[in-house]
Amino acid sequence: VSEQISTAGMEASGTGNMKFAMNGALTIGTLDGANIEIAEQVGKENIYIFGLTVDEVAAFRSTYEPKTFYDGDPGVKRVLKALFSNRFCPDEPGIFKPVFSQLMGIREHYLHLADFRSYVQAQERIGTDFKDRSKWLSMSLRNICRTGIFSSDRTIKEYADEIWGIQSQRE
């Protein structure tokens, strides 16, 4: 699974995700940048899209309160408490506290907690689909055979024609 999970509008991925998809990885990602291009090629049913859209992020940012999600979603609270409690760093107490503070900061720029539940749900779909081997392989194959358009040959030719205005010597 290729995780391209930056908040929408934060350049979730450039081209690295295309290389993974071409090689049969399934993508979990936000609706942004090249994740959108991949979704258009492979179809919404062959990619795991989650979270807010670019427009929703922009509209929500000025009123976003992490505490609403912390108080309103027991899963969010449990994960953040684990982070705060040194559960993952018994030998280095406190090293994750800055992460906790960042996530809980007022108007936290990336709206991380807002996408958390949707991310977990997408991961649950991944878990279910992965257990269905024929479904998983069919999704993977569709990613391989529908991403040829991202080949560097096609891209360079398009640059040569449309941007650089040059011709191949072999043409």
Ligand X SMILES: *Cc1c(COP(=O)(O)O)cnc(C)c1O
Under 8 Å between Cβ of 5 and 29? yes
Q: How many residues bind ligand X (CB under 6 A)?
A: 5
- Written as six digits, the tokens of 85 are 């409690």
Q: Which stretch binds ligand X (CB under 6 A): 8-16, 90-98, 113-121, 143-151?
A: 8-16
Nearer CB in complex with ligand X: 15/138: 15
- Written as six digits, the tokens of 137 are 């392989």
Least CB distance to ligand X at residue 154 (A): 16
Site for ligand X in 122-141 (CB under 6 A): none
Nearer CB in complex with ligand X: 7/13: 13
CA distance 16 to 79: 29
Least CB distance to ligand X at residue 16 (A): 2
Letters for 12-41 (x = contact with ligand X by CB under 6 A, - = none) are -xxxx--x----------------------
**One-letter amino acid identity for 71?**
D
Rg (CA), the chain: 20
CA distance 82 to 90: 11
Instruction: State which residue has the least CB distance to ligand X.
Output: 16
CA distance 125 to 127: 5
By CB under 6 A, name the binding residues for ligand X. Answer: 13-16, 19
